[in-house]
Structure 1
Amino acid sequence: MGRKGCCSALVLLLLFNVVAWIEAEVQKTIYFPSQKLTWDKARWYCQKYYIDMVTWDTVDPNLLTTWLIEEGFTNVWIGLHQDPEESLVWRWIDVKTGEGLTGDDVSGSRNWVLGQAVGASCGSYNSITKKWENTLCFLEMSFICYADNLVVVTENKTWEEALDHCREMTNSSFKYDLLSITNSSDYSYVSDRLYGATTDEIWIGLRFLGGEWWWSDGETLDHQEMLPDCPSQWQHCGTVSKYNTTSWTSRDCSERRNFICSYEEVVNQEEKRDSKSG
């Protein structure tokens, strides 16, 4: 999304859910930079220009595999590496929520092909065999990065200020708003993205109006029972804990905390009509 260093990248947009015109969803974009790098340099590149290297909870493996084969990519670095303190344990780079793969899991997993090279402690993916492989980290290979449509803001603001902050970032290309988590499959992913927040709870686009809880994108909350049906006079705004995104809490809207915005591409009315008619 206007990032420097992206012009040579091949881009594949993987939408895990259909995006309605008025409904915000978490979207992930996969990038394939043209150069080949070692595993460490590849990860540095992904973190500098995007979010990080791809892990299996950030992509649809079947879609990714199909695209890799079509574009001629066979072996690519992914965000998987050997634990430096436990030689039989492999971990996704997102160690906060990624599950450690023990030696037993590795040897018995249909996703794995283990080589015999000493020091092969970085993970790659073979699109032909559809297997993860342990590979020598100093080899230069193609790699996969990802980004999304979320912005975590570490400034402390009231709920209204947070809403205004997000919406004021809107431009001719992208529309911004406080995040509406309308799909339960996004919960764990959002939790990962909140890891860098400086407050334990973060404002999201939940607001109590007219006797109901609403998302700021205009959708009603499907699980109204998760929040009080008659909150006290001031606790009409919703937060999510960065440690548990499935637990929302009503808070005083005047409290100040971090918040998370999302954005979607602006679609003009003619494009909307063409899409609907198609």
Structure 2
Amino acid sequence: MHHFLRLISVFPSEMERITCMSLLLTAVVSSSAGAPRQYHFVNQNLNWTEAQRYCRENHTDLVTISDIQEQNDTEQAIKSSSDRVWIGLKNTWIWSLSDPAFYTEHESQFRNWGSNQLNGDGDCVYMEKDGQWHDLDCSQTRHFICYNASSKGFVSVQEKKNWTEAQKYCRQYHTDLASVRNQSENQQIQNITTVKQVWIGLHRLWVWSDNSTSTFTHWKPNNVYTRQNCTLIVISDEGRWSDEDCSNQRPFVCYDDKLVLIRENKTWTEALRHYRNMDMDLVSADSEQMQRRVMNVTSSASSAHVWLGLRHSCTVGIWFWVNGQTVCYDQWASDYDIDLDKCDETVRSGAIQTRDNHWISRPETEEINFICIK
């Protein structure tokens, strides 16, 4: 009976009323899907990069910690097996324009540092008139270069701002601060630069290995950042975090996530049918914790929207999840397109927007990426 209920839920016909009521009943009698994440302490001394590679090959990634509960879960996985243990947070140079579709392979890693120029002066980057790059305190003011996607070209702005102000200006009037993907673009910026130094879009941030958007931190109080680029959890210091040289060898914690982003474009129904045959299901973001999990995996999507396991029934007049829950917790966009009078048109399903992680209503015939849960 359980499999029959799951099967009929894909059809937007006269079965909708039965489907919705059956799903609600299933949610009552079915056991919980369980926590979407498992933690694995690896008692093997590796440097941070080696630990990252090990986790990606054998699990999902080095551990990301999004809240105090996950902090506690990570500590529980370590127990007293070791004191200083790698986690997935690293201080990394990234471009302000973060859209992965903007870069082909390795282009986001192009650098043109001058000799002795990467010396820890700051977390933002300017280009010299000779084309060499230098790091500098982001609060300093410089002229800057924007990138304009419409013209597919660079724009030299003849006023001084700090890096953050320059970023805001470029995003408001163009697309973003300039990314430099190769030597040719480096030369293009040199050609239009009339001053000695200009900001470009490269800056340094603490970034999780799995590209999670989590902003949770657990640094020890009054932690003095020594510009070591990788992060440890220190069990003897109440599990507080500390920065350390990435080349040091430490044990580490990996995680397995049951959420999987499928970078294939399918309709909502195609996605549901295909992956149920693989013992997976479209994800139900029915809690704040699950929403955070979903947000963490959408950053590498190849479509602007990503299907969730969210469906609208015109017959019953409600939105419901494929796991059987009605929608109590929600993250609808303030201007989402959900006119319930459109019931004579294409059946509506729910998707998450990759740019701001809000939900929107889309025709279920649209072909986009989707997120499944194992």
TM-score (norm. length: structure 2): 0.54
- Aligned pair partner of 1:214 in 287, 306, 320: 320
Q: What whole-Å deviation, never above 9, does each CA across 1:226-264 have from its counterpart, x for those lacking one? A: 47361512142111112233x22111111111111112x
- The equivalent of 1:195 in structure 2 is 299
From 238, 243, 250, the counterpart of 2:350: 238
Alignment of 1:1-278 (within 5 A): 21-24=30-33, 27-57=36-66, 60-70=70-80, 72-83=81-92, 86=123, 91-93=206-208, 97-99=213-215, 110-111=220-221, 113-114=223-224, 120-129=228-237, 130-170=239-279, 176-209=280-313, 210=315, 211-222=317-328, 226=332, 228=338, 230-232=340-342, 233-245=345-357, 247-263=358-374
The aligned counterpart of 2:149 is: none
The C-alpha deviation readout for 1:131-175, integer Å capped at 9, x for no partner, is 2122222221101111211121111111110100120102xxxxx
- Structure 2 unaligned blocks of 5 or more: 1-28, 94-121, 124-134, 138-203
Counterpart of 1:243, as a letter, is: R
Superposed CA deviations along residues 55-87 of structure 1, whole A, max 9, x for unmatched, are: 3217621232244234x2211011223345629
In 1: Cα distance, 2:295 partner to 2:31 partner: 23
Distance in 1 separating the partners of 2:224 and 2:250: 18
Cα offset for 1:213?
0.9
State the one-letter code of the partner of 2:243.
Answer: N
Amino acid in the other structure paired with 1:43 = Q
Query: Which amino acid is 1:62 matched to?
Result: N
**AA at the equivalent of 2:321:** W
Preserved contact between residue 76 and residue 125 of structure 1 (Cα < 8 Å): yes
Quick check: 1:25–1:181 contact (8 Å CA) kept in 2? no
Indicate conservation of the 8 Å contact 2:84/2:233, yes or no: yes
The root-mean-square deviation of aligned C-alpha atoms, in Å, is: 3.1
Give the drift of 1:32.
Answer: 1.8
- Contact 2:74–2:253 under 8 Å retained in 1: no
SS at match of 1:217: coil
User: Which moves more between the two structures, 228-237 or 82-91?
Assistant: 82-91
Partners of 1:39 and 1:261 in 2: CA distance: 29
Note if contact 2:230-2:244 (Cα within 8 Å) is conserved in structure 1: yes
Please name the residue that 1:267 is paired with.
Answer: none
Q: Distance in 1 between matches of 2:241 and 2:205?
A: 11
Classify 1:157/1:253 alpha carbon distance in 2 versus 1 (closer, same or farther; 3 Å): same
Percent identity between the aligned chains?
27
TM-score by length of 1: 0.71
Structure of greater Rg: 2
What is the rounded CA distance, in whole Å, between the counterparts of 2:302 and 2:225 in structure 1? 42
Secondary structure of the residue that 1:222 maps to in structure 2? coil
CA contact (8 A) 1:197 1:242 kept: yes
Match of 1:272 in 2: none
Cα distance in 2 for residues equivalent to 1:113 and 1:225 = 35
**Unaligned residue ranges in structure 1 (runs of 5+):** 1-19, 171-175, 264-278
1:180 Cα deviation after fit: 0.7
Deviation at 1:204, TM superposition (A): 1.1
* Runs of 4+ displaced beyond 6 Å: none
Q: Structure 2: which amino acid aligns with 1:222?
A: C
Paired positions, count: 229
